[in-house]
């Protein structure tokens, strides 16, 4: 019973490959198995980037909600549905890639076909300048 054999085992706590920093891409010696950043500077840079992205996402969402509120108010002011407001200037493309725009200008339904949106915009602007009394003569 007095003869005891001691076996020393070695524990490998780190992998043999060096991880890459998710911010700067450099390889580094990790102090922890789940380390993702090479330094506090890179960790802070990643945190600020995430914060900026979430600020932009919040701003986009607020703008989207504001847009739909304006569309709703426009429909309410005109006494029509939101759907009618949205289809007043519905854009479509034909097989040749030309832009087709259905627009209501001075109470008339107009359909424009052009190669690009600038041509359509110019045509709508020109049509809006013509009043119904000009077309009666």
**3-class DSSP state of 94:** coil
Entry pTM: 0.36
Residue 36's pLDDT is what? 92
Looking at residues 73-100, what average pLDDT do you find? 74
CB 83 within 8 A of CB 68: no
Give me the half-sphere count of Cα atoms (radius 13 Å) on the Cβ side of residue 124.
23
pLDDT digit string (tens) for 102-136?
666 666 766 666 665 566 666 666 766 654 444 44
Q: What are the residue boundaries of the structural domains of the chain, listed by start?
A: 17-80, 88-137
For residue 52, what pLDDT band results from cuts at 50, 70 and 90? confident
Q: Rounded CA gap, 44 and 56, in Å?
A: 18
Residue 43's pLDDT is what? 93
- Of 96, 94, 101, nearest in space to 119 by CA: 101
Q: Rounded CA gap, 58 and 64, in Å?
A: 10
- Give the Cα-Cα-Cα angle 114, 117, 123 (nearest 5 degrees): 65
């Amino acid at each position: 019973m007095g003869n005891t054999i001691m076996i020393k085992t070695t524990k490998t706590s780190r992998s043999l490959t060096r991880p890459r920093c998710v911010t700067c891409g450099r390889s580094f010696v990790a102090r922890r198995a789940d380390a993702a950043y090479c330094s506090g500077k890179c960790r802070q840079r990643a945190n600020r980037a995430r914060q900026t992205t979430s600020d932009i996402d919040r701003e986009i969402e607020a703008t989207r909600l504001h847009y739909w509120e304006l569309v709703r108010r426009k429909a309410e002011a005109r006494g029509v549905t939101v759907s009618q407001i949205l289809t007043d200037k519905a854009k479509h493309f034909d097989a040749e890639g030309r832009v087709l725009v259905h627009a209501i200008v001075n109470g008339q339904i107009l359909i424009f076909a052009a190669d690009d949106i600038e041509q359509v915009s110019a045509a709508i602007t020109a049509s809006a300048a013509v009043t119904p009394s000009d077309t009666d003569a």
